[in-house]
Homo-oligomer: A and B are copies of this chain.
Amino acid sequence: MVPRHDFDLISVDDHIIEPPKVWTDRLPAKYQEAGPQVVTKDDGSEAWQFEGELVATMGLNAVAGKEFKDFAMDPMTYADMIEGCYNPVQRARDLLADGVRGSLCFPTFPRFAGQRFTTAKDKALGDLCVKAYNDWMIDEWCASVPGLYIPMMIGQLWDPKLMAEEIRRCAARGVRAVSFPESTTPFDLPSFHTDFWDPVWQAAVETDIAICIHIGTSGRTHLPSPDAPYSVAVALGPVNAQITFMDLLLSGIPERFPKIKIALSEGGIGWVPFALERVDRTWERHRYWAKMGDTPPSELFRRNFWVCFIDEFAGLETRDRIGVDRIMWECDYPHADTPWPNSQAEVTKMLKDLPADDVAAMTHGNAEKLFRWDARPDVDAILGVKQSA
């Protein structure tokens, strides 16, 4: 018997370290050599190879389970990591033991929004890689622990019509979310201020899947100088979400697609009340010359956007300014910001004095609604012990 957990948690932002065979198991023979595969270098380090080039280090930031003193931003090998980084069954044990019974996972080698394949020299291979990841997500990662993992897909960013088709294909297979970059122009693709992406938005609306935008997916950091320590970039991570928030709220997309659902992942929540005041003030004062729409941007936010928190107090104190129905919790397993394996203790500090309805909404209720998620994993079976009542 293990004690029941105080908080019923769904995490809307975790990270997969893909096991080596995601693509080799799925690509046709002609693409086995060019497709993504893990290689071990002479110095013992591991890396992903794609189209003949080493393109990504392994397990960057996969530090879950380590002491803060042992944190480093160095590449890791599979052997350096806890098994839950890449094994969905072991991760299920890790999460459920910590009272986390739902998890939405972003990819790593494909980059958080699948941008990797946008630069594929062979776009037919890129297309197959996207589909292979999505099938692996559905058939292996999620299927291995029914009810735990909320399936999220990536898309063919270089071709919005192809991506729209893939959204429809995956939605029919149960996918509930698509990962999308916080800005598209760094990949030489049109911005949010064009109609280029309309097929994607349209497909997401029609299939009622959420668009999840993770910080860092533009590849932009906001280091003020080349010699500023990397810790400045870490501390400034949420600035990316603020930029995307303003960019999308003033893009016209929420007006053109009133049912679009956009979640800003790992962006935090504490800056939102300020940003809502700021964007409304900008709208109030500048909408005439800047030809903005008629709806205050804060109204668009409260209809079309969701945000999430890991470990914050000020943001929770001002939750009514954000909208309690907009806020979700995330675990960020296995990255440096994760509270795991102390999620319950960390959540207790933040939520213990808050009204039960607010707690239920933010810990799991809003995620269940946004992702239309009513499944539950078989906790007793996975942990191999019965939970106390």
- Interface residues, chain A, with chain B CB atoms under 8 Å away: 68-73, 182-185, 191-194, 218, 222, 224-232, 234-236, 238-239, 242-244, 246-247, 250-251, 268-271, 273-279, 281-292, 311-315, 317-318, 321, 336-337
**Contact between chains at A194 and B227 (CB < 8 Å):** yes
Q: A227-B191, A290-B230 are in contact. Are A274 and B315 (CB under 8 A)?
A: yes
Q: A191's closest neighbor in chain B, by CB? A: B225
CB distance from A159 to the nearest CB of B (A): 19
**Contact between chains at B239 and A225 (CB < 8 Å):** no
Q: A284's closest neighbor in chain B, by CB? A: B68
CB distance from A266 to the nearest CB of B (A): 12
**Contact between chains at B68 and A277 (CB < 8 Å):** no
With a cutoff of 8 Å between Cβ atoms, the chain B residues found around residue A286 in the complex are: 68, 71, 231, 234, 336
Question: Out of B218, B238, B274, B337, which one reaches A270, CB within 8 Å?
Answer: B274
Most chain B beta-carbon neighbours within 10 Å: one of A271, A312, A337:
A271
Q: A290-B231, A314-B321, A337-B281 are in contact. Are A271 and B274 (CB under 8 A)?
A: yes
Question: How many copies of this chain are found per oligomer?
Answer: 2
**Contact between chains at A285 and B247 (CB < 8 Å):** no
**Contact between chains at A247 and B273 (CB < 8 Å):** no
Most chain B beta-carbon neighbours within 10 Å: one of A225, A230, A315:
A225
9 contacts between A and B (CB under 8 A): A192-B224, A193-B228, A222-B239, A231-B292, A235-B275, A242-B242, A271-B271, A274-B312, A277-B311
In the bound complex, what is the Cα–Cα distance between A234 and B285 (angstroms)?
10
CB distance from A174 to the nearest CB of B (A): 32
With a cutoff of 8 Å between Cβ atoms, the chain B residues found around residue A278 in the complex are: 235, 238, 268, 270
In the bound complex, what is the Cα–Cα distance between A225 and B181 (angstroms)?
13
**Contact between chains at A235 and B250 (CB < 8 Å):** yes
Q: A68-B288, A277-B313, A285-B68 are in contact. Are A183 and B236 (CB under 8 A)?
A: no
Q: A222-B243, A243-B222, A290-B229 are in contact. Are A337 and B285 (CB under 8 A)?
A: yes
CB distance from A180 to the nearest CB of B (A): 13
**Contact between chains at A183 and B224 (CB < 8 Å):** yes
With a cutoff of 8 Å between Cβ atoms, the chain B residues found around residue A274 in the complex are: 238, 268-271, 274, 312, 314-315
